[in-house]
A and B are shown apart, each in its own frame.
Chain A
Amino acid sequence: MPKRYHELGIQAYRVTSGNTRGATKIIANRDKTEVREYLLGRLPEADEEQFELRLLSDPAFGEEFDTIVDEITDDYLDNQLPDDERERVKKYFLSTAERQSKLEFAGELLRRAESNRGNKKVPEKDSHPTFFEQVAASLRRPYFAQAALALVLIVVAGLTYSLVTTDRSQKYLPLDITASSSNRAEGPAPATVKLPPGDGLKINLTIPEDARGAKDYEVTLLGEYVNKTLTIDQRTEQTLTVTVSSEALTPRGSYAIQLTKTRPDGTKERVPDSYLLRVE
């Protein structure tokens, strides 16, 4: 019985040469966060209908969904998830035979990639040679040596002047955000901030009224390439202040901040509303 329709469908599909791979991929970062929430069973029921209808009509969204399934599986195997999310993956995401099978395949693939690594170095932060590497390379060429030396002197002088006259420490731009419903289609637009390169954010999160008075809080930053627990610098009855480095907000794009509260009895509960943020 399974695949019965599929076989007929494929036949029809081949006859007509339809192909969904040519679909235009316009997937916003907030969609990725929503897919993740759905996969971990944390998307509010009210939002599920629209989400699932999109799965039934948008092939690019379906493909993105599958990609995120793979990424969660890999993150689980690589132990890259915060404790509460890891627990969620174990209890919810991996509870079907299909996902277990994916987990086995992914485990095998990651082991193979690791054993194939050989002498490959962990990639450097920047793949391009640094300025000083370029200068050193030039110095190895005798006819460039004098010119390069002069250039180095000029640059060192410039840098020294710059360091003396400018505060070069990383700056943290202040930002206040309130939580919004995860129904992004109807909810308010995310807080947008233009962040100069190298600068981070100092964010004041207003705690939703019904989440106040908890014993403790956990703040998680979620983005396409980040899933990170943030350290709470300051806490008042109504706000939490966290610092986010420039590195955590790279690449620029949409991020969500989630709050988990610890009740007096020690149990944890995720606050349903999220803080949405767009970094430009």
Chain B
Amino acid sequence: MTISPDTFDALLEWLDPDREKAAERYEIIRAGLIRIFVSKGLSDAEHYTDETIDRVVKRLPELKQTYVGDPARYFHGVARNVLLEYGRRKEVSTDEVPQRKIQEDMRSDAHECLSKCLKLLPRDKQEFILDYHLYQGHAKIQNHRQMADELSISEGALRTRAHHLRVSLEKCVLRCIAQAQQNKTAV
């Protein structure tokens, strides 16, 4: 199904009459659907998320007339159907998975890309993210406590700060790896 800007506007309008709030709700629903699909074992969660939104959009004219309640609940019902159709999560044999066989060149890409992406960060943030991920177990807890003390923030705020930084670093590394792979294919 091809989505037009008008259809998308209609979807936003259904989510909330205030366009700003509607856009925010859309993003929250979309992110939530991706989290659900990944957690239920469907790779390419973005595809199934779009499939779910497609199905909702198809029924939009009718929904606008008849549906009463939180749109998120309707999205959830449709997502559940998509899950049923495309297969519930299957547990995999421990002998088969636990880690994908990573090609050596990909590992080397990841290594180089992490270096590049870390360099894009200001020095204090580089130090912060690496320090945060030092140690294991109890030493890790003590380390986070110390870091929070030094920054005069709560441990919860420290955790959130580290998470935001990690998310942006991960995005940067994944983009960089994809680019590196693309360049190799082109050559």
Contacts and interface: CB of A to CB of B under 8 A. Distances in A.
Contacts of A21: 164
Contacts of B32: 52, 55-57, 62
Interface in B10-45: 12, 19-33, 35-36, 38-39, 41-45
Interface residues on A, range: 35 or more
Interface string B125-148: 000011111111111011101100
A234 B27 CA distance: 52
A175 interface: no
A80 B166 contact: no
A52 B169 CA distance: 27
A31 interface: no
A4 to B, nearest CB: 6
A260 to B, nearest CB: 17
A110 interface: yes
B23 A12 contact: yes
Interface stretch (A113-121, A131-139, A192-200, A205-213): A113-121
Given A56-B29, A114-B134, A123-B139, A92 B23 contact: no
A103 B50 CA distance: 25
B53 interface: yes
Contact of B94 (A49, A87, A102): A87
A91 B97 contact: yes
B65 interface: no
A9 B23 CA distance: 7
Contacts, number: 202
B111 interface: yes
A124 interface: yes
Nearest to A40: B39
A108 B114 CA distance: 8
Interface residues on B, range: 35 or more
B169 A109 contact: yes
A172 interface: no
A152 B182 CA distance: 69
A92 B89 contact: yes
Contacts of A70: 163, 166
A75 to B, nearest CB: 9
A97 B72 contact: no
Taking each of A41, A58, A98, which has the highest tally of chain B beta carbons within 10 Å of its own beta carbon? Answer: A98
B59 interface: no
Given A2-B44, A12-B26, A105-B110, A25 B3 contact: no
Interface in B68-99: 70, 72-73, 75-76, 79, 89-94, 97-99
A35 B163 CA distance: 16
Contacts of A114: 134
Contacts of B106: 104
B122 interface: no
Contacts of A123: 135, 139, 142-143, 145-146
A68 B53 CA distance: 26
A59 B53 contact: no
Contacts of B134: 113-114, 116-117, 120
A1 interface: yes
Contacts of B73: 53
B100 A102 contact: no
Contact of B27 (A17, A18, A117, A247): A18
Given A9-B30, A92-B41, A123-B142, 20 more contacts: A2-B47, A3-B46, A3-B50, A5-B30, A5-B53, A9-B8, A12-B26, A25-B156, A41-B89, A55-B36, A62-B35, A70-B163, A78-B137, A91-B97, A101-B174, A105-B173, A113-B130, A113-B131, A123-B145, A124-B142
The 10 closest A-B pairs by CB, nearest first: A18-B24, A56-B32, A16-B20, A2-B46, A113-B133, A55-B32, A90-B98, A56-B72, A123-B142, A97-B43
17 contacts: A2-B46, A12-B19, A16-B19, A18-B20, A41-B91, A49-B76, A53-B76, A57-B32, A62-B32, A67-B159, A79-B136, A95-B92, A96-B43, A98-B38, A105-B173, A108-B173, A123-B142
Interface of B: 3, 5, 8, 12, 19-33, 35-36, 38-39, 41-47, 49-50, 53, 70, 72-73, 75-76, 79, 89-94, 97-100, 102, 106-107, 110-111, 114, 118, 129-139, 141-143, 145-146, 149, 155-156, 159-160, 163-164, 166-167, 169-170, 173-174
